[in-house]
Amino acid sequence: MYKWAEGEESTPLDRWARRCFFGMHNEVPSVHWNKPEHAHIAIAELNAATIGVEAGVNFRLRIVDSGSHGWGGPMGSVGAQVHEQHLEYRLLLPFFDANRSAYRWSLTVHRHGDGSANQYTGGEVLAEGELNPPTLATAASERRATLAVPKRPNKPDYRADSTTPIQEIRTVELANASPQQVKDIRGAIVLMPDTRRHNIEAATLSLTYWPNRDIHDAYAELELMDTL
């Protein structure tokens, strides 16, 4: 069922077509680039879909341990499983060249009081990174600048030691047998329970990627959100 569901997911080009001027814009929340000021967003996301940039963010409940047979409980009982709520993210940057490419990304979480799912107005950046990005204001960078930095909760709702991303560069072979470098950035932030659940209710992952930073306007950009 998992593999079937995975195969039924929309491709990046499917999602772009749904959101463009002529698309159905039938997502929840709805995304529709139907105004002239949305043109640069549509072009940046089309660039991402065309060159194969991938990004994903989701909340996932993981089983991290399970108790052994409990002598204190009923005979034959098994200890309860231990679960952790993780906020997972991943970025794949194709045609990556450390001497030529540039990027900027951030993972922002939203809590109760930061606005609604349609338009959050606040958030806290839990993870971020960049490599020589041009001094160019993009939709993602402007969006992040508008998010007010909130007062952090009195009780931490995530493990600070889990916010450092894992980064690696891999070499893959294209269909024509030529090699290509791909940068892989990923992480899983552990969310801490607070009165039976953590305080975080949504997360936004944004990425701006320049395969060649000398061409400032030729960039790919993605912004994704997941909610609980």
Question: Could you give the CA distance from residue 97 to residue 101 in angstroms, rounded to a whole number?
Answer: 5
pLDDT tens, position by position, 49-61? 888 899 999 999 8
Question: Could you give the CA distance from residue 99 to residue 82 in angstroms, rounded to a whole number?
Answer: 44
* Residue-level pLDDT at 98: 94
* Residue-level pLDDT at 115: 83
Tell whether the model's pLDDT for residue 106 goes beyond 90. Answer: yes
At 195, the amino acid letter reads T
pLDDT tens, position by position, 189-209? 999 876 445 578 899 999 999
**How many Cα atoms within 13 Å fall on the side-chain side of residue 181?**
10
Question: Worst-scoring range by mean pLDDT, 136-145, 166-175, 187-196, 210-219?
Answer: 187-196
Tell whether the model's pLDDT for residue 136 goes beyond 50. Answer: yes
Sequence-ordered strand ranges (E) for the chain: 54-66, 81-93, 102-111, 115-116, 119-120, 124-131, 166-173, 179-191, 200-210, 220-227
pTM: 0.80
Tell whether the model's pLDDT for residue 177 goes beyond 60. Answer: yes
